[in-house]
Chains A and B, each alone.
Chain A
Amino acid sequence: MEGKYASDPEWASIQPIPLNDGSESGAQPLATIAYPQAYLEATSYLRAVMAANEMSERALKLTQDIISMNPAHYTVWIYRAKIVFALGKDLQDELEWLNGVSLKYLKNYQIWHHRQVLVSREDFFPTPPHKEADFLMEMFAQDSKNYHVWTYRHWLVRHFKLWDAPREIQDVEALLTSDVRNNSAWNHRFMLRFGPRDGEPDAGMPNGDGPPSEKGRLAVVDEDVVDAELKFAQSKIVRAPENRSPWSYARGVLRAAGRPLAEWKDFAGKFVTEKHDGFEVKSSHAIEWLADVLAEETEPTSGQKAVRMLTLLKEKYDPIRRNYWDYRIRSIAGQEATTSA
């Protein structure tokens, strides 16, 4: 094989191990790929250094070459981390290199996991890496909803206890200002405000592993924070009433505080006004909210009113979910049958 490794004296001591895809033993390989020659050569050297457990500069360079062709290679990243630690490399340099790779391959799990492995080293990073938030914003400039980056940022907040660090909420506000429909930013905001803190188990909502009646509920509620967040959600809803994110956010906030959806009955009501010839509607999510509030009320006509709201969604404002609205209507009818029986 004539390639860059075969002709490099630095690699002369290595006997490459070619790919064994099983065809020699009679197997029919599946998902065969037309590999470029350079990839075949580099991976045959990788197998050889891995078999020898080699921790060296040349092996480190080789991992970089492999990653540039196949960033999803799951063992090469573990191997690279081991070499970086074994050689006592400066992790800040490693992060710098990783920044470039991250900007090149936007959708990749391994890159962000590697970053987490590095930044977990408390001897190197007793505090968050320098300019970490700046780099994450650079990533969000490419794709403000990049799931891997947000997952990493969640980890970062929890690892360094950044819930109340001013930069976190500033970045969320900046991202919501540029795109109020960025649900990832809304989720991050929820985690900052209501996510589990030190000493509490991880969960997607407060008290996530509590019994069903307590799940989603905060043990201690700061009513000022709750009120401020509800007001914030309202201000964003008014800018784009069909944006589902703040409506969902408000549901989560009320649940965390143990307060009823009915608290927003008047606010939601402003978007659905009855006129002589029917309803004037400014947000379909407000109709849904009212239906939920009415369905929980116990007055004799509330069930009927809730059905009117759901019918409005089904027939006019959200026909895609016709079957779902019917399911909700049936559920209300079922409840009424039970109560009257």
Chain B
Amino acid sequence: MTEITFNRERHIKYFLRCLKTFLPEPYTSNDSNRMLLAFFTVAGLDLLGVLHDKTTSEERQGYIDWIYHCQVPTGGFRGFTGTDFGVESRSPANEAWDPANVPSTFFALAILVILGDDLSRVKRTECLQWLPRLQRKNGSFGEVLGPGGEIEGGGDLRFCCCAAGTRYILRGRSGADIQGLRDIDVSKMAAFVQACQAYDGGMGEAPFCEAHSGHTYCAMGALSFLSRTERNHPLPAVLSPDAVEFESLVRWLVSRQTAELGEIEEESDEDDTKSDTSEGQKPLPAAAIQVVDPKTEVDELPALCPSTEESLRWAGFNGRCNKNADTCYSFWNLATLAMMDRLALVDANRNRQYLLDKTQHIIGGFGKGVGEPPDLLHSYFGLVALAFQGEEGLDDVDPALCISQRAVDHLHSLPWWQKNIQTSRY
């Protein structure tokens, strides 16, 4: 058995390359997500503990200035500079084409916090006033305000999570100095989020969609942010141990850990017999499939051979039932379990084997699946997943804010944030 190691130095090199040189041309299709890519880059170096050693204070100030360059005059942040046609051309008639974007605003604030900024240049009041304008009647959130103040973008959980996170960062724990501002409808958001729980326990993108780990993370992130500040409200059922909602979600989350890594060519969807083989079963005799009486059928089935320890050595996580493992789902599932204080229920070692032996890339960073080239999203989420499991060389991470505990402590130490506050860890 070969020894697996966390190649910290390689990862530092990977993230530094992303910070200091141009991302390759194929990232053009991700241009609109530059704020997210920027977040991964800066947060990755912070998590590796080298942000301050590998950048100068002038550089960090320059990054901070770029984030503020992305702030729109009416509050909130754009996702990329590509929509900016200049303050002199901007008017109420055309400003909808250069709008503040909900996820980008959350990530911009997170980057500022990581870089040690005090958020004093953030248009805090304007931003907090903008958030309720993005909330729909059913409690969900849009992505941007379009022409005529229309709420645009799908009504999915990503926007709920980022809106709740932005509100958490900007209000401070008490919100004492912004009492007069119209707030979002917290109860409606919480109700919408909980209505996304599917029949199998996980949460979908919207009500009655298939349960999906990424959306489940967003759902639980939104509820966590809300319950961190709304201390007089009772905890929602999905955050209350022993409740059916909570325990069925735990069951669904731990069921995502899988030794199916998609290493061999994926079976074609048309061939049923092959799919059965992939479940460690002999193909069924044709007769067994046609028999109608359930009893006869079960009797004819072969006994299940338990998987060998060797075949289970690498077990990552999938994002939906019957899919293959993928690096980012180690993060989405573990982070959700961490918010529910149930992280200890997974097999940390098999997940570590999967990440370090199968998706960690030789040049640094992590790929999506086995043998795939690294990209920023999977590289950062790979690191965070390992950080949850206490990997040496990585700092602690706050699962909902998705940044290092050190950065969170910085936010909590800001005088305006702290006012009247006794912080207690969630």
Q: Are A239 and B320 in contact (CB-based, < 8 A)?
A: no
Does B53 lie at the interface of the complex (its beta carbon under 8 Å from any beta carbon of A)?
A: no
Q: Are B322 and A243 in contact (CB-based, < 8 A)?
A: yes
Q: Mark A293-334, 1 if CB is under 8 A from B, else 0.
A: 000000000000000000000001101111110010000000
Q: Are B62 and A72 in contact (CB-based, < 8 A)?
A: no
Q: Are A248 and B82 in contact (CB-based, < 8 A)?
A: no
A36 to B24, CA, bound (A): 10
Given contacts A69-B28, A282-B298, contact A212 B195 (CB under 8 A): no
Q: Are A154 and B94 in contact (CB-based, < 8 A)?
A: no
B276's partner among A75, A144, A239, A320 (CB-CB below 8 A) is: A239
Other than the given A204-B196, A323-B346, 7 more pairs (CB < 8 A) read A33-B23, A194-B199, A238-B294, A248-B199, A249-B200, A282-B301, A320-B312
Q: Mark B245-283, 1 if CB is under 8 A from A, else 0.
A: 100001100110111000000000110100110011100
A316 to B308, CA, bound (A): 9
Residues on A with C-beta less than 8 A from B90 are 51
Closest to A28 in B: B62
Closest to A52 in B: B94
Of the listed stretches B127-135, B143-151, B388-396, B407-415, chain A binds: B143-151
Query: What is the distance, in angstroms, from A172's C-beta to the closest C-beta of chain B?
Result: 13
Q: Are A244 and B347 in contact (CB-based, < 8 A)?
A: no
Does B306 lie at the interface of the complex (its beta carbon under 8 Å from any beta carbon of A)?
A: yes
Does A27 lie at the interface of the complex (its beta carbon under 8 Å from any beta carbon of B)?
A: yes
Q: Are A75 and B297 in contact (CB-based, < 8 A)?
A: no
Residues on B with C-beta less than 8 A from A204 are 195-199, 203-204, 207-209, 211
A183 to B345, CA, bound (A): 24
Query: What is the distance, in angstroms, from A258's C-beta to the closest C-beta of chain B?
Result: 13
Q: Are A75 and B31 in contact (CB-based, < 8 A)?
A: no
B210's partner among A144, A187, A251 (CB-CB below 8 A) is: A187
Residues on B with C-beta less than 8 A from A75 are 83, 96-99, 144
Q: Are A183 and B347 in contact (CB-based, < 8 A)?
A: no
Interface size on A, residues (CB 8 A): 103
Q: Mark B329-367, 1 if CB is under 8 A from A, else 0.
A: 000000000000010111100100000000000000000
Does B59 lie at the interface of the complex (its beta carbon under 8 Å from any beta carbon of A)?
A: yes
Q: Are A212 and B207 in contact (CB-based, < 8 A)?
A: no
Q: Are A33 and B28 in contact (CB-based, < 8 A)?
A: yes
Does B38 lie at the interface of the complex (its beta carbon under 8 Å from any beta carbon of A)?
A: yes
Complex A-B: 18 CB contacts under 8 Å: A27-B62, A30-B42, A31-B37, A31-B41, A50-B85, A69-B29, A70-B29, A75-B96, A78-B152, A79-B97, A179-B275, A181-B322, A190-B199, A203-B195, A204-B204, A252-B199, A255-B199, A319-B307
B301's partner among A39, A109, A212, A238 (CB-CB below 8 A) is: A238
Q: Are A50 and B197 in contact (CB-based, < 8 A)?
A: no
Residues on A with C-beta less than 8 A from B208 are 154, 158, 191, 195-196, 202-204
Does B321 lie at the interface of the complex (its beta carbon under 8 Å from any beta carbon of A)?
A: yes
Residues on A with C-beta less than 8 A from B205 are 147, 151
Q: Are B200 and A238 in contact (CB-based, < 8 A)?
A: no
Residues on A with C-beta less than 8 A from B320 are 145, 147, 183-184
Query: What is the distance, in angstroms, from B63's C-beta to the closest C-beta of chain A?
Result: 5
A187 to B42, CA, bound (A): 38
Q: Are A53 and B94 in contact (CB-based, < 8 A)?
A: yes
Query: What is the distance, in angstroms, from A169's C-beta to the closest C-beta of chain B?
Result: 16
